[in-house]
Amino acid sequence: MSPYHANLSNEGYVYTKEGGLVSGLCTYGVIKPERHIRQGDDGNVWEAIVIGAGYAGLIAARDLVKAGKRTLLLEARDRVGGRTWSAEINGTTFDMGGTWVSHNHGRLFAEMQRYGLKDDISATRTENGGCDYFTLDTGSGSRKFTHKEAAAMTAKAWNIFIDYDGNKGRTICPLPYSTLGNSRVSFDQVQAVDQLSCRDRIEQIKDQLTADELALLESIVPHIGGGSVENFGFLELLRAHALQNYEIATFEEVWTLYKIREGQSTLARRIFDDATRLGLQYSFKTPIKSIIEKEGVISAVTTTDKNYRAKRVVNTIPIAVLPDIHFDPPLSPLRQEAININQVDYLTKIHAEVVGDLRGLRGCTWPGDFLYVYGDGFCADGKSTRITSFAGDNRGILDPLKEPERLETALKRFHPMEIKKVVFHDWVSDPYAKAGAAWYPAGFLTKYLAELQKRHGNVLMANADWANGWRSFIEGAMEQGALAADVVLNEVGILGANPAAPS
C-alpha cells in the first residue's frame, strides 16, 4: 500500500471508445503545494540551482542539500520524474516512460535499497499466464512460437549481428563506461566502428539469417531505441550489449522484466521527500527560458521572467529541448552542432487494459504500427490484463493524439483482444521531452559525446542523454546527477564533520 495519494497531473492520456481521448492522469508524482521557497531566500543567490526534477535532478538536489548546500529545484512540470513516471487508474499502475529495473543498474538498485523498495518488485511477464506464447507477424504471415523458440531465433540473429570483432563485442568494447577509448582500445578503433549504422551492419551479415530472424533483428533495434536501423548507430548497440554482460540471454531480465510494484513515481517521490526533509526548496510549473552567467553568478530566468540566481547550476534539460533555452554566453559551436543533429528516439509506448488473461503474451509485428507487445500482469480487478506495447519512430505514420482509435487496431494485430482502455504519454508532443531517451546516429558518439558532457562555465550539464554508462536509462540519469552534485560540492565547498585544523 503506497503512502502517497495520487493527484491529477495535466499529463498523460486515456482513450476509450465511449469517452474518446481524455487528457490528464493521476500520479504519485504530483507535488502539492507546487512551490515552497522561504520568503527570506527568494531573491538571494543560491549555492546551487537544479533545473529539472527527473532522476538526474532529484539525485543532484538530494545530494546537495544532504551536504548542507542551499539548493533550489526548478521544474517545468507539475510532478517529479521527468521522462519516468507512473499513473494510477482504478488501482492499477501504468509506467508511462522509463520502467524496468535490474541489479545490473547499481546506482538505481542502491536508491531502491535506501528507500525500502529493493523487494517491492513485480515481473512483467507471468510464467504460465494466459496466452503463454510469442506471436510473430511478418511478411511471412502470422505464427505462434513458444517463448523458448522465439528467444532462440532472436538470440541467433543478435549474436551474429553483434559479433563485429569475433569476440561478441569484448574486444572493441571491453570497458563500456569508457566506450570512446581506454587502456585497451584506441579512439581510432572505436571511431571506425562508430561510422557504421545498424543498416550497414545488417547488410554485412544478412545472408546468414532467415527471413524471420532478419525481421526480429530489424524490429528489435527500433524497439530498443525508437529510431530505425537506417539512422541508429551500431556502436550504440555494441555498447549496450557490453553493459548487459555481453549476453543476449540477459536481455529480458535487464531490460524488460522487473518493475517497482507501485511504479517509478514511488521511488521519485521518496527521493524528493527525503530532499525536502533535508531542506530542499522548490518551484514546480516553472519552465526556464534562459540561463545567463555574468561575473560568476548564473541567472535562471523563467518563462514568466522570474530570475533565480546561483553560484552553480545543474541543468538536466534533455538534448531535444536544449534548443528552446537561450544560453549567454552561448553554447560552443560543437555542442550546438550536436544539438541540431539531435537524437533518433521518437518512441511510442502504449498501455492497454484488456479483458481476460493475456499475461503470458509476447509478440512482434514487423513492419507494423507497433513492434512489440508484453503481457504485463493482471490489473487491480484481477480479471483483466495490463498490456504494454512499443513502436519505433511513428512520426508521420501514427499520431496517437490525432488517431487514437488506430491504437486499438495496432494492438489487435498481435492477438485478438477486447480493449477496455488505452493509456499513454505522447513524448514526441511533450514540450519538455520532445522525444524519448536519447540514442544517436552513426558517427555521433565519437564526435560529440565528450562535448555534451562538458560543463558550460559554471553550468553543469547532467542528463541520461549523455551518460557514460547506461545512457538513456534511469541508471544513467542517476549517474549524471550524482557526478554533477560532486563537482558543485567540491567547488562551492564542503566543510565536513571533522575539518582539518587551519595550517
Binding site, by residue number, is: 75-76, 390
* Kind plus residue range of the DSSP H or E element containing 144: strand 141-145
Q: Where are the beta strands (DSSP E) in 267-418?
A: 281-283, 288-294, 297-302, 307-315, 326-328, 348-355, 362-365, 372-378, 384-391
Provide the 10 A C-beta neighbour count for residue 418. 11
CA atoms within 13 A on the CB side of 442: 15
3-class SS of residue 210: coil
141 contacts: CB under 8 Å, gap ≥ 6:
none
3-state secondary structure of 92: strand
Residue pair 52/317 in contact (Cβ under 8 Å)? The answer is yes
Binding site for FAD, by residue number, is: 75-76
- Whole-angstrom distance, CA of residue 107 vs CA of residue 481: 11
Give binding residues for substrate as ranges.
390
Q: What gap in Å lies between CA 218 and CA 236, rounded to an integer?
A: 15
Range list of H helices, 97-166: 106-114, 147-162
- Count of H helices and E strands in the chain? 13, 25
Q: Which residues make Cβ contacts (< 8 Å) with residue 422, sequence separation at least 6?
A: 14, 15, 16, 350, 351, 352, 404, 407, 408, 411
Residues 6+ apart with CB under 8 A from 380: 90, 91, 92
Strand 326-328 with 13-16, pairing = unpaired
β-strands 7-8, 26-27 pairing? antiparallel
53/80 Cα distance (integer angstroms): 5
Q: What letter represents residue 482's amino acid?
A: A
How many CB atoms lie under 10 A from the CB of residue 397?
14
Distance (Å, whole) CA 489 – CA 56: 16
Q: Outline where 454-495 has alpha helix (H).
A: 474-492
Instruction: Write the single-letter amino acid at 261.
Output: R
Residue position matching grid coordinates 512551490: 35
The length of the chain in residues reads 503
Q: If phi over 0 gives left and psi between -120 and 50 gives alpha, with beta otherwise, what is residue 374? A: beta
Cα–Cα distance for residue pair 153/144, rounded to 1 Å? 13
